A and B are shown apart, each in its own frame.
Chain A
Amino acid sequence: MARPSVTSRLQGIERLRRQVLAHPRAQGISPDEVRDFLSRLPPRRFPRTAYAERGPIPYTQPRGGFPTFEAQRNLTQALSQSGADFIPLTIDSYTRHNQYETATQLLRRSEEEGRDYLNGYPLVSHGHELTRELYSGLDKPVSLRHGTPDARLLAEVAIASGIVEIEGGGICYCLPYSEGFPIDRALLYWQYVDRVCAEHSTAAAPIHRESFGPLSATLVPPAIAIAIEIIEALLAAEQGVVSFAVSFGQTGSFVQDIATAQVLRRLSRRYLDECGFDNVRLYLVYHQWMGAFPQQRPKAAALISGAAIIAGLVDADKVVVKTVDEALGVPRPEVNAEAVDTVQYVMRIFRGADTITSPVVQREAELIGAEVDSILAAIFELSGGAFWESVFRAFQLGYLDVPFAPHADNANKLISMRDGNGSIRILNPGNVPLSDRSAAMERSLLESRVDRADKTYRQLLADINLMVQP
């Protein structure tokens, strides 16, 4: 049995860092120089300072990444001018898979031909010196958005570039993004990232970590997402991270979104405190709809506006926004800027509604909370000399099971569907350790659905395409 503990802190980090920084693409990165550089960054580049100044509405953060320096600089300036509170740096797929040479070749081709051969910014190829220039004069946090199971080199280059919000984790950036990357190694590699973040943190200016709660963004029951968010917060805290955001994606159910936010915030805090990590400052991030998006711009705009209202209602610290072009391709900077403006407008208009409570929301929160407690209790009881090993075992046993995750080691035994209110219900928990009471309640709520007589796969397809139906 292994509870999270600071005794699991990664040993020999200096030697491991030397190994990672020996890579030719890390040339010139010196931890001492980086520390000095970070100490000279404007305080508002650090999420903790920014969050401390947040007003009545959530901060906004779009997504975006282009291969060339010039295009990325234009995007950064456009987003900053549009009022985005956090500036994204979305990384290309080759870099995410540690294929730095391919990314570099395609970057050169993009530069030469003036066409984008990459779907994001190849940060490792550009290097930290050039990327520092990208954010020269900026006084907003920059968030690294990627999907990399082994992000050690990427995180080193990011921090050296002055990017001090690192999204990801050994689970959330492995299960939904990789078919075969070993989960145990992803957990170990993210220990490294967390440790490096902690090493570069100061009390006033901690490097901020954020987990990616939407996971596969397809019928993920809130209890699974919350359990994984809490686990990643605990794993980061073990390594010394003191500023962390948990997140979740819009579920498609108004009730479930509000309940999920309540439970995620409350239980994350409770588990961190119980494990002795009360020094960790916790934030909540809400992702607008991450599933299949409507192709019609008016419908997309309506969906984005609805999600903006929910972000305000759940009092998220930050909302990650989508654009009306989500279903059509990588959005242009001006479309991204419009999305930020729209979301901020809606949140301003509808601000002020304190957290909504109702018996239905309360019942939902109780159910989700009981499920999360049950899952985490079972994981804490698993064998292993360290918490990460218990987490690894949890996937082997199917205690953690993410619907529609492409990873070969995901159990794929849990089956989820929507009930009559659009909430995600667990039809069959597989090996996920839910109490009989919770499992029965999930099934009973599912019975409220009127089309239960339909074939299961048809229901599933309809549920997946919830937002793109005519």
Chain B
Amino acid sequence: MKSASRHPTAHPSGRVAVDIGSTVVKLAIVDDEDQIVNQEFRPRDFDIGIARQVEALLSECHVPIDREGILVCSSANGGLRVGIVSLSKEFSGTVLRNQVLLAGANPMFVRDFEEEAGMTGYVDMLLVAGGIDCSDAGPMHHRLQRMRLEDYRYGSLVYAGNRHLAAAFLERFPGATVIGNPIADGLTGRVLSVFETVRRAYLDDLVYKEGVSELRSNISRGIRPTPEVVSRGFQRAVMNRSSLMTGGAAVLLDIGGATTDIHYTVEIVRDDSPCRPSPSVSVARYVFTDLGIVASRESLLLQLRSHPRLHEFLELIVHDDVREIYRLLREGEYEPPPDLLSYGCLFLALDRFAKGNGPGLPTADLDKVSLFVLSGGAAQTLSEEMASRMIKLLVSRTAGDPAVTIDRRYQVWVDGITWTGLDEE
């Protein structure tokens, strides 16, 4: 598979980063200035297992397998699925959703206490929360007592609500874990207890399900969720701390097989957006769990087929016989090539973002964006020119021409995994 190397052998003093994906394992060696000096991509080999594959890749790159400080991240298994049941969707539900997203996991639904579970599907974690920490919480207590969780299917149950009601919650659900209330003393959601808990669960999930536990301890010790790493890389770029200079409001789309993640600078959220990112974050993330080119292919196609601007979309990508392909696609008789699916993810994600069309998704003013970065495995086959034309479909004619960069070297990932952040610089 692909290899990009400035030097044929590993930089002895460079840092080594590994990303364990569902379909690809990536390795990058970066120098002291975080420049990539060697990069290798390999398809996942499920026969030999992840531990042996990573060790083999390290050996190929002349990196001792017992080397300390190897940076590892993973989003294999599609990420942690989290369900949220909250006192209100607008306050506690929004805070929880934002913290789940920041931790790199996928919030699958937000329900309030009175709602039926409905067709929510299995989630790895069910978070229950609501109310600030006040002792006089009779109405909330009453609603907690009436709340039904029996119809939800989940792996673990976590309570992050009013701490004065934690005992009552545990009485009803003895197996639950209690963590700090993210809106303990106000509605600003600054406490990161949920973030830490979800992040830990994400990593435990990886270890349990993906065989990461088989990795040598020096490799598995510091493993991190890939979406969180990408988010840090994006944050670094918007702070002018990366070779990828954004120079203004920016959006990063990480297009993958199962999901499309959107990372954005929060100033593009419209003032009248009903949903907003958490206070105190300057870049935020949203995950479209139904947009991806492999595992989510069917739901992607379903949305594309019914989109009112499908013909305009195809006119940009398909050069011959657009009408016929349009007809076949509408009738479900067309097998689109991977690049069309990737453009589909880009188009639908941005279109929905501009309309706030998604649970908990803010409404964005795409006219304010000066740079779009496309990353992830499914973005590698796209062209800047085509993507730029597609984006123009979604911004007003009077807006400036935003720049489009395709992150072919996975620079955002490398920036994120190597960045120690403001705190430690």
Contact = CB atoms under 8 A, between A and B. Distances in A.
A150 B365 CA distance: 15
A180 B276 contact: yes
Contact of A383 (B269, B280, B424): B424
B49 interface: no
Given A101-B398, A150-B267, A408-B188, A393 B282 contact: no
A11 B248 contact: no
A182 B276 CA distance: 13
Interface string A98-130: 111100100000000000000000000000000
Nearest to B240: A188
Nearest to B280: A409
Contacts of A373: none
A36 to B, nearest CB: 25
Given A16-B247, A19-B247, A24-B398, A185 B267 contact: yes
A183 interface: yes
Given A180-B279, A183-B282, A393 B422 contact: yes
Interface string A385-398: 10001001100100
Contacts of B137: none
Max count, chain B CB within 10 A of own CB: residue among A101, A384, A408: A408
A104 B271 CA distance: 18
B425 interface: yes
A189 B250 CA distance: 13
Interface in A3-54: 10-12, 15-16, 19-20, 22-25
B94 to A, nearest CB: 13
Interface in A386-440: 389, 392-393, 396, 408-409
A184 B247 contact: no
Contacts of A183: 282
Interface string A252-263: 000000000000
A181 interface: yes
Given A20-B248, A396-B280, A182 B265 contact: yes
Given A20-B248, A383-B425, A409 B279 contact: yes
A384 B241 CA distance: 12
A92 B367 CA distance: 19
Interface residues of B, number: 36
A23 B249 CA distance: 13
B245 interface: yes
Nearest to B368: A98
Given A185-B282, A409-B280, A101 B266 contact: no
B248 A384 contact: no
Interface stretch (B104-112, B175-183, B399-407): B399-407
A185 B425 contact: no
A149 interface: yes
Interface string B222-264: 0000000000000000111100010111000000000000000
A11 B239 CA distance: 12
A152 interface: yes
B396 A12 contact: no
A185 B267 CA distance: 9
A23 B422 contact: no
Contacts of B280: 396, 408-409
A152 B248 contact: yes
Contacts of B400: 22-24
B239 A184 contact: yes
B271 to A, nearest CB: 7
Contacts of A408: 188, 279-280
B388 interface: no
A19 B248 contact: yes
B267 A101 contact: no
A12 B241 CA distance: 12
Given A19-B248, A24-B400, A182 B425 contact: no
Contacts of B368: 98
A119 B247 CA distance: 29
Nearest to B424: A383
A188 B239 contact: yes
7 contacts: A19-B247, A22-B400, A150-B249, A150-B267, A180-B267, A183-B282, A384-B425
Q: Which 9 A-B pairs have the closest CB atoms?
A: A182-B282, A408-B279, A23-B400, A16-B247, A385-B425, A19-B247, A184-B282, A409-B280, A22-B400
